[in-house]
Amino acid sequence: MPVRPVLEFRIGDRVELRKQHPCGSREWEVVRLGADIGIVCGRCTRRVLLERRDLERQLTRFVERADGGPGTDEQGTNG
């Protein structure tokens, strides 16, 4: 099985996930880092803790990086 590099998440990153939240939003903001990553729904502000591995699987793309850079997909390329 090929090994995927660990994605670098930063507090303030806005990400899009594959599954919709019950409120209808797919965008989340990273608010806590560690083995579990805390994210906040972009529409209803619900807070959720996900294991890093689960978040990496659900990630579709970075909408906005915390450093103010343009959105990138999961490979870290523009798109």
Q: What is the pLDDT of residues 31-59, one digit of tens each?
A: 999 889 999 999 999 999 999 999 999 99
Instruction: Please tell me which residue, 72 or 20, carries the higher pLDDT value.
Output: 20
The residue type of 63 is: V
End-to-end CA distance of the chain: 27
Q: Please give the structure tokens belonging to residue 32.
A: 């806590």
Q: Yes or no: is domain 14-64 CATH 3.30.420?
A: no
- For residue 41, list its beta bridge partners: 28
Residue 4 predicted with pLDDT over 80: no
User: Using an 8 Å Cβ cutoff, are 10 and 66 in contact?
Assistant: yes
